[in-house]
Chain A
């Protein structure tokens, strides 16, 4: 039980895909101009990650070692197609906002990396816990980055106005350069918190 919990927890902070491992950067930067888009992308990625981890870890002994990467990619691509058609049918507005970044979940290195490093080597229940933790960590990172950018760039959070009326938005925060700069500063802040924590633990 403790092992399962550990597999789940590690994705949230210690091995957070965005802040610690720095993988899966393309969607992180591209869709976080609004908190809502970040949430949708996070959930879509989590669904793909959990389902493909489930399949991969279940049939891990059947996949020949030489063609494991192509097999993983085909499994992932199938689930991404499902997500894409679901979003198009149920949430056309979000599907439009995410645009071509939904199919790009296929080549998100986070998903392929977890299949290769974890799901293909571990039993199903552990792979499931790992995928859920990693997916949740990724979603939280996307939401927090999206909230900061939306707050500074449009003066709102999840579409609700929160700033005083004559606040002038920083248009740069919702455009591409703002994505790079705010993520860079966030990585710095996370590193700083981690160092402070380590120092207090030592004392």
Chain B
């Protein structure tokens, strides 16, 4: 139990995917101009991550390792993620139309979100068990949501301030993200991560 809580805290605060590993920067810069859409994107990512984690675990341990095909790992993972996203999209459209309205257009974008692939590779590299993988997938998604929501909140305020002409757009957003990352460095001594 303690292990699982530690995995959760470390993935959300200490090894935050966006601010520590620079993953999912494209949606982080692209979708973070309004709080509402940022949170929808965060939820969609969390959802896909929680599903991908056990599937990636199963592919690695039940299929690739048994057949002795480690070099197919990247190709397999990316195909599974892409088709899983498509499948989830169809499923949500059919059974949860309300949810589909909230995160509809963001789902296809997630296929090329590097955070998903990285999470799959990370849990294989660290040899997490099935339960740990699921928790890790969910909490990485939470970390992503937290970062993108904070960023969107700040950017809504930046709109009203006088930014130098040449820094407008991506420039000021990256500098803001840098200061945010600096704050998250403060969490790094919180617990020892294996």
Q: Chain A: residues with CB nearer than 8 A to chain B?
A: 22-23, 25-26, 29-30, 69-70, 73-74, 77-78, 80-81, 84-85, 100, 103-104, 106-109, 112, 172, 175-181, 183-185, 187-189, 191-192, 195
A180 touches B75 (CB 8 A): no
Residue of B nearest to A189 (CB): B166
In the complex, A176 Cα to B15 Cα: how many Å?
Answer: 11
Cα distance, A181 to B185, chains bound together (Å): 14
A70 and B82 form a contact (CB under 8 A)? yes
- Interface window among B34-42, B98-106, B169-177: B169-177
Q: Cβ of A191: which chain B residues have Cβ within 8 Å of it? A: 165-167, 171
Which single member of B74, B82, B181, B182 contacts A81 (CB below 8 Å)?
Answer: B74
Query: Pick the contact of B125 from A25, A70, A100, A188 — CB < 8 Å?
Result: A100
- Closest chain B residue to A31 by CB distance? B22
In the complex the two chains form, is B178's CB within 8 Å of A179's CB? yes
Residue of A nearest to B182 (CB): A177
Query: A176–B166 contact, CB under 8 A?
Result: no
Chain B residues engaging chain A, CB cutoff 8 angstroms: 19-26, 29, 71, 74-75, 78-79, 82-83, 111-114, 117-118, 121-122, 125, 164-167, 170-179, 181-182, 185
Complex Cα distance, B111 from A73, in Å, reads 10
> How far is it, in angstroms, between the C-alpha of A185 and the C-alpha of B118 when the chains are bound?
27
B75 touches A179 (CB 8 A): no
User: CB distance B75 to A30 under 8 Å?
Assistant: no
Residues of the A chain whose Cβ atoms lie less than 8 Å from the Cβ of B25? 25-26, 29
Q: What are 6 of the A-B contact pairs (CB < 8 Å)?
A: A26-B23, A30-B22, A69-B82, A106-B74, A179-B22, A187-B174
Closest CB-CB distance, A26 to chain B, in whole Å? Answer: 5
Q: Are A107 and B113 in contact (CB under 8 A)?
A: yes
Extra A-B contacts (5), CB below 8 Å, given A22-B29, A103-B74, A185-B171: A70-B82, A100-B118, A176-B181, A185-B175, A188-B166
The residue that A73 contacts in the complex, of B19, B24, B78, B113, with Cβ under 8 A, is: B78
Chain A CB within 10 A, most for which of B24, B26, B114, B170: B114
Q: Contacts of A107 on B, CB cut-off 8 Å?
A: 78, 112-114, 117
Pair A77/B74 contact, Cβ less than 8 Å: yes
In the complex where A176-B185, A177-B182, A181-B175 touch, is A109 in contact with B26 (Cβ < 8 A)?
yes
User: Are A180 and B79 in contact, CB atoms less than 8 angstroms apart?
Assistant: no
Complex Cα–Cα for A153 and B156 (A): 32
Q: Rank and list the top 8 A-B pairs by shortest CB-CB distance, nearest first.
A: A180-B178, A184-B174, A181-B178, A184-B175, A191-B166, A25-B25, A177-B181, A29-B22
Complex: how many Å from CA A135 to CA B81? 26
Q: Known: A29-B25, A77-B74, A107-B114. Contact between A177 and B178, CB under 8 A?
A: yes
Q: Are A103 and B121 in contact (CB under 8 A)?
A: yes
Assuming the contacts A30-B21, A195-B166, asked whether A180 and B82 have C-beta atoms less than 8 A apart, the reply is: no
Cross-chain contact A178 with B178 (CB below 8 angstroms): yes
- Cβ 8 A contact of A180, one of B78, B122, B175: B175
Q: What's the Cα separation between A189 and B179 when bound, in Å?
A: 19
Contact of B82 among A22, A73, A104 (CB under 8 A): A73
